Structure formats: structure tokens, C-alpha cells
Amino acid sequence: MTTRIPELSPPPRLLLGPGPSAVHPRVLEALAKPTLGHLDPEYLKIMDRMQRMLRDLFRTENELTFAVSGTGSAGMEAAVVNLIEPGDSMVVCVNGVFGGRMVDVAERAGAQVTRAERPWGEVFTPEDLAPLLAQAKPKVVGIVMAETSTGASQPLEEISRQVHEAGAMLLVDAVTALGGMPVEVDAWGIDAIYSGTQKCLSCPPGLAPVSFNARALDVIRSRRTKVRSWYLDASMLASYWGKDRVYHHTAPINMSYALYEALRLVHEEGLTACFDRHQRNHQALAAGLEALGIHFTAQEGHRLPMLNAVSIPKGVEDGPVRKGLLERFDIEIGGGLGAFAGKVWRIGLMGHGSRQNNVLLFLAALEQLLAEQGYGFDAGASIAAANGVYGRTERQA
């Protein structure tokens, strides 16, 4: 007897969580294009153009800029294992889940890790790091630019200057930041940086853009020991992504097509326009939520435009709201992680998902679900507040 396996039929969700984000139709179309060999001359041309677009998005001229075959966490591991050798000192800034994950990755690579810590939702200042840099004398300082678990946006320029004055290299997590806010690798002196495709690039998860500057590349080339990951060894990957085209692994060809098209979309819109769109929709959502008495968890003045982490109002149950959004409205948002579990909602407005109609639809659905739990507010207040922001920004434009 033959068992009939159901046809693949995922529901059409509106992804407004911490990632993955809504994928642009053009990116989905790119995934379906004919697969080429990983050394086909036409595919190599695609790699070259994709590198150029990545450099433009990272705002860098770094030669070693490419896409790691793996998700954002593979980008994190690639950056760490290439710069760290067993026994090296590393300071990692922890103010959320992903700083903590970097600690784990660094310790597995053999680093002697010193944790710099701030409360969840807050950011680091040079004064926070000064004593640790003097004491640990690190080779590398790792920091998360956009902490997805808390919605906090970390300023980097002054910290980068301080890290270099201490003789260390700066490693930056830009998984959520890239494509949704300015990332200035060269201007800020970032030595190594990694991101992911599934956030503001509105591409399926599967690739991790990375970039290493000349200083980092010198460190990689002068290692005393082999990189602990064969698959993520940047010196070998550089030979595949560079002029030599030395075979290393079979690249995910169709995912490369998807990232290529996602990068085209960002550059067609223009970086400034793209960042302004994310900021405008964040401001509208913030106004709507505040009209409902819902407040942000991130430090004032340091809120991410693409990931809105807010405290669940007193008396409101987390599970029924998120379940109702998913089952009745096909809207996904994220719950809290770690210290924020059960206390926070994480609402993503990333890439293709950062649109006015999504903000207004989400607020309308949220109002209905809150009313059903007996939470008090003026009906329609969030929609009016969000539309007020859109009206002002339209007039200013």
C-alpha cells in the first residue's frame, strides 16, 4: 500500500517577527531560476556582482567581502574562528541573547573571554569598556550592533576608536542591522563584520554576508594554528571568492540568486530611501503602540527601527495574543527570549515587511485582541496615531 504524502502547502503568513522576514516576490522568482555549476563562468560573474553590491551595502572597499554558506550564526562563527586562536583574549559585550551567543562561540574557539555586561535593553559606552580593555588587553572586542532580543541599537564609532587605541580589533554583529540602518564599515573602522540574509534583506535564511578588512586579513594569514573550522576558513574561502577561483565547497547556487536579487532591490530603492522607510514605519508603529499604553524596552534614543521590542501590558496574556494574531490574522510576531521571556513582544518591520499597510493591519488586529482580554484603551487610537505620523511625513516629503 502506497502512503500518500500531502502536498507542500505552507500558509501565507505575514512575518512581522524577529526574522525571517517577508520575502520579496522578485527574490522568490530568483530562487526558481535554472541552477548553474558553482564554477560555471556565468555563476562566477554573479558572484563578482554580488560582492560589489555587498561592499556598497557594507560601505566598504574590503577585498574579503563575501557570503558564507550558512545562516547568520554561521557568519558569527566564521568571524570568530578566523580571528581567534586558542588562548587569545577576547572581550564580548553582552546586553542580550546574541552577545551571550558570541561568548559561547568564542569560548568554543579557545578564547579567554571577558564579558562586558549591561542590562537588557541598554547599550554600551566607551566608559563601560575602558577598565575591561585595560585589564584584559584583548586581541578582539565583539559587540552586537542591533540586539534582536531587546530592540537596542548600539552606537559604534566612539567604541571603535577606543578599541583600536587599546590595540584590539573590532568584530561587529550586524545580522539585524544590515539593510535597515546605516552600517559604515570603513568610516567606523570595523575590522570584521557579519550579517544574515533573513532580516532586512528580505531573503530566505541561508547565507551570511561577511567582510574582513586588511588588518583582519593579515591576522588570518599569519595565524600560528589552523582555523578550527575547515568549512569556515576564510583563507580558503578567499581563494574561491577571489581571482583564483579554487574549489572549496559547492555553493548554494539558487540562494546566491536570491541574495543577488535582494541586494538589487536595496540598491534600486537607494540606501537613504531604504533607511528612511524603515525609520518612518517604526515611528508610526511606535506612535500607535504608545497610544495603547504599550512601551518600548530599549533605552530611550537607542531603539532599532526594524525590531520593536515592547513590554506586554499588565493584565494581558502573551500567548493568547500571539496565537490570535497567527491563527486569526496570519500575522507572526515574536515573543521574548531569555530574561524577557513572557514579558516582551518583538515586532519586526524588516525589509519588504516594513510597509505602511503592514503597520496599520497589525495595529488593527492587536486592538481587537486586546479588547477581547478586557484591556482598556480608546478604540481606533493606535490607527489614528500611526496615521498622524504618516500624514506628517508625507507633508514633509
The DSSP code sequence of 157-181 is HHHHHHHHHTT-EEEEE-TTTBTTB
Domain 25-267 -> CATH class: alpha beta
Q: Write the burial class of residue 388 (CB in 10 Å: 0-12 exposed, 13-18 middle, 19+ buried).
A: middle
Q: What is the pTM of this model?
A: 0.95
Q: Write the burial class of residue 247 (CB in 10 Å: 0-12 exposed, 13-18 middle, 19+ buried).
A: exposed
What number does CATH give the domain 270-396? 3.90.1150.10
Domain with CATH 3.90.1150.10 in the chain: 270-396
Pairing mode, if any, of strands 112-117 and 331-332? unpaired
Distance from first CA to last CA of the chain, Å, rounded?
Answer: 65
Mean pLDDT per 10-residue section of the chain, whose length is 397 residues? 86 97 97 96 97 98 97 97 98 97 98 97 96 97 97 98 98 98 98 98 97 98 96 95 92 97 98 98 98 95 97 96 98 95 97 98 98 95 98 74
- Helices and strands counted in the chain (H then E): 13, 14
User: How much is the pLDDT for 1?
Assistant: 60
User: How much is the pLDDT for 393?
Assistant: 77
Domain with CATH 3.40.640.10 in the chain: 25-267
CA dist 368 and 331 (Å) reads: 13
CA dist 348 and 334 (Å) reads: 8
